[in-house]
Amino acid sequence: MTRICKDGFNREFIQEKPKMYGIAYTQNILSGRWKYLILWFLKTKKRRYSEIKAFLGNISQGSLTKQLRGLEADGIIKRKVYPNIPPRVEYSLTSKGEALIPIIDLMGEFGIEFGEKG
Partner DNA sequence: CGGTATCCCTAAAGATACTG
Partner DNA sequence: CAGTATCTTTAGGGATACCG
Q: Which residues lie near DNA (CB under 7 A)?
A: 31-34, 48-50, 58-63, 65-69, 79, 86-89
Binding a second copy (rule: CB under 8 A), the pick from 42, 71, 77, 100 is: 100
For 20-76, strand residue ranges (E) read 47-48
* Inter-helix orientation angle 101-114/35-42, to 10°: 110
d(CA 79, CA 92): 7
- 48 with 87: CB under 8 angstroms? no
Q: How far is the CB of 48 from DNA (least distance, A)?
A: 4
Residues 28-87 that bind a second copy (CB under 8 A): 33, 36-37, 40, 54-58, 75
Distance set, CA 81 to CA 21, 66, 87, 90, 111 (Å): 34, 17, 8, 7, 35
Q: Is 96 a residue that touches a second copy (CB under 8 A)?
A: yes
Binding a second copy (rule: CB under 8 A), the pick from 19, 45, 80, 88 is: 19
Residues that bind a second copy (CB under 8 A): 2, 4-5, 7-10, 12-13, 17-27, 33, 36-37, 40, 54-58, 75, 96, 99-100, 102-104, 106-116, 118
